[in-house]
Structure 1
Amino acid sequence: MIGQELEKYSFEYLIKKALDNVPDDIDKRQGSIIYDAIAPACYQLADIYMELKGVLLKSFITTTYGEYLDNKVIEQGLQRYKATYAKKKCIFTFKENTSKNIPLGSMFSTINEETPLLYKAVEKLSESEYVLKCESIGTIGNGYIGDLLPVTHLQNIESAKITSLIEAARDEETDEELRNRFLLEVNQKPFGGNVAQYDKELRLLDGVGEVQVYPTWNGGGTVKCSIVDTEYNPVSSDVIDKVKSEIDPKGIEGNGLGIAPIGHVVTITTPSVVEVNIEAKIQLLTGYIIDQLRDSINKSIEEYLKTLKKQWGISDDFNRYELTVYRSQITMAILRIIGVANVTDVKINGLDKDLILNENAEIQELPHLNEVKLI
């Protein structure tokens, strides 16, 4: 409303108001002496009002952005999540009669990639297992699984292969994500071991993206926290153990020696994956064939499922979670592709109904696209 009020102060509005105060027996037409004398000041005032509107909008959480948003959320003690680096587990095989060791800091490169990624050895786990850290920041380092090529000259290496993701990287938090987190912080005050506090503290830990919190799931004082990584996929057992030690260390549960309050016995888990198989009949526009559109359709459906997974950790006012794969949204995802004229007979896992995933204290589930059959 205030922004709209400032918006009316255009040049045309200001010069009209100024000229209204000039006697009518004086020439006020455009090009007249009085008009030309007043116009520059009105132009300048119009610019100032526009700048004032910008300053005003930057002061509200719903309309601010960038560094101004960063300064706004500091009022609630929040900071934008910065991008992090992916950590992977790599298994090495060594040549016979050579040292079973590689120097920390050794560099390795991915192969068969359009843009090769570099990984650095940062920690030794066992004789043949090392932790490698991606040199490229953000989620780009999460995906690669496979063979590596040594960049550092190492004569004792026979092969090097990344086998799993230890700690998923995150991209820098977007304005929209930070804004939503701020509003959640304001509306649900974290305090004294309530659900909001568990949600907040777990999201601050490396490798954790979204959280579901189930209080008193196995009696008074018990809490179950289900977590996914920053790309909304189940986490590894290593991440579960790490988070458990931060929240409520094993062997000494309930003593308040972690983040959890005294008396809280916390279970850390991760959701199971539900394979999603799609069948659909599609009608194409003239000049298109199914094989030409197959990859684009798969990507569009995957984008829809990723959008769903982003909502996995959002509960209602009674701390209930739900996630449903809708046939109508699958249809929309396919229709979004240029070349598709119509979609019918959509089935999910062989059934012509929506797929309702289990989201409760006993079972938590995430969808994963397995196969798309197009007829």
Structure 2
Amino acid sequence: MVYYRSAEDIYEEMFLGYTETDTSEGSLIYNSCMPVCIKLSTALLDLDEATKKVFASSALESGYSNYLEMRIKEVGIERKQPTYASTKIDVNGSPNANLKANSIVGIKDNRLYLTQNDLVLDQDGHGKVIIKAENPGSKYNAKVGEINYLPIKYNGITSIANKEAATNGYAQETDEDLYARYLLKVQTPVTSGNDYHYKQWCLETEGCGSAKVYPLWNGNGTVKCVISNSNKRAASKELIDKVKQHIEEVRPIGATVTVVSVEELLLNISVSLIYNSKETTLDKIKENIRNSIEEYLKKVALNINYISIAKIGALILSSDGVEDYNNLTINSSATNVTVNDNQIAVLGEVVCNAT
């Protein structure tokens, strides 16, 4: 703390050198002045907290999200808000059957979606309709075929299925990602159309989570932007088009811009664990390990050229419940995994064996 002092220290300084006056606890002077010292001490403590709130770095470290957001907004950067996953589903049933807008469909794990418009099935009993998640966030992104559940029975509707993945569901931008965009703007030499500028334009687009810029990649006047989504996974065509459109609105005249998605490099991990089975379960440890590795991979996305097996081992060892490990492999190999320039490492299968 910079300003804080205890009430006792303040009181002692007030009467430093008073040797012939009774200032001991319980004296008239003590009882009169100590309440003031307590108030001064509290005010200094509040001043320390206020100092943490006015600087972006200390607001981040101290968890003052609202103050971080207000400080960063002063330079024109606003937090990206959560978005809703959406896709199109095939609907089957009786000819001319109706499915009203806001009908509920979903996945059996209780992820629910709402139809966005009225649908009347054709003479063959088929139709298509767009659906949107009931809540924002990445948990509502779904693979092909996952959305096949009708929690409510609708007359004439027998089945549904999504032949396209549900995408573009993102959580609210984290404090760390917001602060990283702030640093990019205030600490890097952004000028008209340099590579930092293109990176900034990519990252300020809703849904873009990381970006790498290659100037002059195909000759003079060409720029290539490699992006991931906010979940640090491959970008959808919709996101690529959105980033491209935003850059086209602000880029210098004459530049030819190419925007592409990162390529996902799948990491399948196998490890043998030593743990106390009386205190935890293998499934719980596996969940902890997966969370730790996924968080790490998101932090280093597009910033490293290899995945260190030693680092993965350290993450495993630091996971709750793990006492030791052996036989660690990544993609069936006990060596580092190379990550190419346009690749982003994503976690695949995690196999944990007890030893």
* Amino acid of the structure 2 residue aligned with 1:11: A
Match of 1:146, SS state, is: coil
| Shift of residue 288, structure 1, vs aligned partner | 8.7
Moved more, 299-308 or 269-278: 299-308
Choose from 3, 9, 16 the match for 2:12: 16
**Cα separation, 1, equivalents of 2:244 and 2:251:** 10
Q: Is the 8 A contact 1:298 1:372 kept in 2?
A: no
**Cα separation, 2, equivalents of 1:134 and 1:213:** 32
Cα shift readout 1:291-345 (whole Å, capped 9, x = no counterpart): x5156326514531442233224xxxxxxx4242221122223333555443223
Match of 1:224, SS state, is: strand
Ranges in structure 2 where 5+ consecutive residues have no aligned partner: 120-125
> Which residue number in structure 1 is paired with residue 90 of structure 2?
92
> Which residue number in structure 2 is paired with residue 372 of structure 1?
351
> Which residue number in structure 1 is paired with residue 130 of structure 2?
131
> Which residue number in structure 1 is paired with residue 41 of structure 2?
46
* Amino acid of the structure 1 residue aligned with 2:332: G
Q: Is the 8 A contact 2:285 2:319 kept in 1?
A: yes
2:55 equivalent to 1:60: yes
Choose from 329, 336, 357 the match for 2:318: 336
Q: Is the 8 A contact 2:113 2:134 kept in 1?
A: yes
2:190 equivalent to 1:190: yes
* Amino acid of the structure 2 residue aligned with 1:131: I
**Cα separation, 1, equivalents of 2:241 and 2:296:** 28
Q: 1:162 to 1:190 in 2, by over 3 A?
A: farther
* Amino acid of the structure 2 residue aligned with 1:367: V
| Shift of residue 234, structure 1, vs aligned partner | 0.8
> Which residue number in structure 2 is paired with residue 232 of structure 1?
232
* Amino acid of the structure 2 residue aligned with 1:342: D
> Which residue number in structure 2 is paired with residue 177 of structure 1?
177
> Which residue number in structure 2 is paired with residue 259 of structure 1?
250
Identity of aligned residues (%): 26
**Cα separation, 1, equivalents of 2:331 and 2:343:** 18
> Which residue number in structure 2 is paired with residue 119 of structure 1?
113
Matches within 5 A, 1:226-375: 226-248=226-248, 258-285=249-276, 292-294=281-283, 296-297=285-286, 299-301=288-290, 303-313=292-302, 321-337=303-319, 340-359=322-341, 363-370=342-349, 372=351, 374=353
Count residues with an aligned counterpart.
343
| Shift of residue 154, structure 1, vs aligned partner | 4.6
* Amino acid of the structure 2 residue aligned with 1:186: V
Cα shift readout 1:85-108 (whole Å, capped 9, x = no counterpart): 222x23223335326x755x3222
Match of 1:171, SS state, is: coil
What is the alpha-carbon root mean square deviation over aligned residues? 3.0
Q: Is the 8 A contact 1:229 1:235 kept in 2?
A: yes
Q: Is the 8 A contact 1:203 1:211 kept in 2?
A: yes
Q: 1:337 to 1:27 in 2, by over 3 A?
A: closer
Ranges in structure 1 where 5+ consecutive residues have no aligned partner: 249-257, 314-320
Q: Is the 8 A contact 2:233 2:344 kept in 1?
A: no
Q: Is the 8 A contact 1:108 1:150 kept in 2?
A: yes
Match of 2:313, SS state, is: helix
**Cα separation, 2, equivalents of 1:192 and 1:124:** 47
Cα shift readout 1:46-74 (whole Å, capped 9, x = no counterpart): 11111122222222221122222222112
**Cα separation, 1, equivalents of 2:23 and 2:9:** 15
**Cα separation, 1, equivalents of 2:17 and 2:165:** 73
**Cα separation, 1, equivalents of 2:127 and 2:191:** 45
> Which residue number in structure 1 is paired with residue 122 of structure 2?
none
**Cα separation, 2, equivalents of 1:242 and 1:41:** 59
| Shift of residue 349, structure 1, vs aligned partner | 2.1
Match of 1:149, SS state, is: coil
Match of 2:327, SS state, is: strand
Q: 1:330 to 1:177 in 2, by over 3 A?
A: same
Q: 1:166 to 1:229 in 2, by over 3 A?
A: farther
**Cα separation, 2, equivalents of 1:333 and 1:165:** 31
> Which residue number in structure 1 is paired with residue 123 of structure 2?
none
Q: 1:261 to 1:59 in 2, by over 3 A?
A: same
- TM-score when normalising by structure 1: 0.80
- TM-score when normalising by structure 2: 0.84
**Cα separation, 1, equivalents of 2:279 and 2:78:** 48
Q: Is the 8 A contact 1:83 1:173 kept in 2?
A: yes
* Amino acid of the structure 2 residue aligned with 1:20: L
Q: Is the 8 A contact 2:91 2:129 kept in 1?
A: no
